Amino acid sequence: MSTKKISRRQLLKSSGLRLRDTRSVDPSLWLMNSMPSLLVREQAILINLGSLRAIAMYERVLIFNYNSSQGGKAFLELLLPRLNPRNINGGPSMPFQLEVVEAALLSRILRLEQRLMKIEPSVAALLEVLPNRLTADVLEQLRLSKQALVELGSRAGDLKQMLIDLLEDPHEIRRICIMGRNCTLDRLDDHMECSVPLDKQIAEEEEEEIEMLLENYLQRCESCHGQAERLLDSAREMEDSIAVNLSSRRLEVSRVELLLQVGTFCVAVGASVAGLFAAPLLE
């Protein structure tokens, strides 16, 4: 591991990328590239998962703004143990770029799941006390919880769509498999050709492994997104119930006000009649 500052020209030269390729991971363009993405190029994979912006190559990975990136730190905490030969336990290890992709997806999914586990108990507690306890503090907590669920559901939904698009594009998956190997893909039928037959066999096995890996994280992402949506629907239903409750109370208050106005009018009429009959006597 090392930290360094490099120019765009040096970055493009070392990674074999074009300038337009780096737009998806450029931290200075975070307003334009906020959607999660995983772009495969000939020599690199560009990863944009929120606060994690990285370029994975055959034997190294470049992480942008590591010191100020929570996603970058969580990513490295998962990646480094996977690269330790002592943790492999004699089993076959995946190519480096696949380890990077899996660690990136896992770190993102774990952060979404942890945030959901933190929000879910507070929302459940609010739903138990409402609508019987309508105080300003409780309503503010409901608003903040609803806002957090909207944000969580949006992030999980965007990640889910990215994984779906990637699974539906076998060409991108095969480009990941042939990275670092003497293999090419036919532009017409997407057929894989390798100079070494063993490389082709390994690449085909990795293709199935990548599909299974992406499918696994897609299921976890769908579960997180679905639970966030269910909690959000419950919060919205509670808001509707509170609105109906408040409307009922306003109607009760309006009814009391109307009765008071009628009573005041009756007293005023009685006083006026008494005043008319009392006037001749005073004269």
Cα separation, 154 vs 148, in Å, equals 10
What is the pLDDT at residue 279?
A: 52
Domain 15-82+95-244, what fold?
Methane Monooxygenase Hydroxylase; Chain G, domain 1 (1.20.58)
Tell me the pLDDT band of 248, cut-offs 50, 70 and 90: low
Mean pLDDT confidence for 97-104? 89
> Per residue in 51-79, pLDDT tens?
888 898 888 898 888 776 777 888 888 88
pLDDT at residue number 106:
93
Q: Which run of H or of E encompasses 63?
A: strand 61-63
Model confidence at 87, pLDDT cuts 50, 70, 90, reads low
Read off the tokens for 81: 């143990």
SS3 category, 100:
helix
CB 37 within 8 A of CB 53: no
Which residues, 6 or more positions from 39, have their beta carbon under 8 angstroms from its beta carbon?
Answer: 21, 24, 45, 46
Hey, which residues does 57 pair with through a beta bridge? 44
Alpha helices in the chain (DSSP H): 8-15, 70-83, 96-129, 136-167, 170-177, 197-282
Q: Using an 8 Å Cβ cutoff, are 38 and 101 in contact?
A: yes
> Dihedral sign, CA of 163, 31, 14, 103?
negative
Portion of the chain with pLDDT greater than 70, in percent? 87
Task: Band the pLDDT of 172: cuts 50, 70, 90.
Answer: confident
Tell me the per-residue pLDDT of 7-43, one tens digit each, with 9 for 90 and over.
Answer: 888 888 888 888 888 888 887 776 677 788 898 888 8
Angle CA 72–73–77, to nearest 5: 120
**Closest by CA position to 108, among listed 159, 54, 168, 32:** 159
Tens of pLDDT, residues 147-160: 999 999 999 999 99
Q: Are 146 and 172 in contact (CB under 8 A)?
A: no
> What's the pLDDT score for residue 191?
75
| Cis amide linkage into residue 131, ω under 30° from 0 | yes
CA dihedral 136, 138, 140, 146 (to 10 degrees): -150
For residues 187, 193, 194, 198, the Cα torsion angle rounded to the nearest 10 degrees is 140
136 pLDDT higher than 60: yes
More confident of the two residues 152 and 170: 152
With pLDDT > 90 as the criterion, what percentage of the chain qualifies? 20
Q: Give exposure, 21-40, as e/b (b: 16+ Cβ within 10 Å).
A: bbebbbeeeeeebeebbbbb
The per-residue b/e assignment along 109-142, b for 16 or more CB within 10 angstroms, e otherwise, is: bebbbebbeebbeebeebbeebbeeeeeebbebb
The model's confidence at residue 86, banded by pLDDT at 50, 70 and 90, is low
What is the residue-averaged pLDDT of the chain? 82
DSSP characters over 156-177:
HHHHHHHHHHHHT-HHHHHHHH
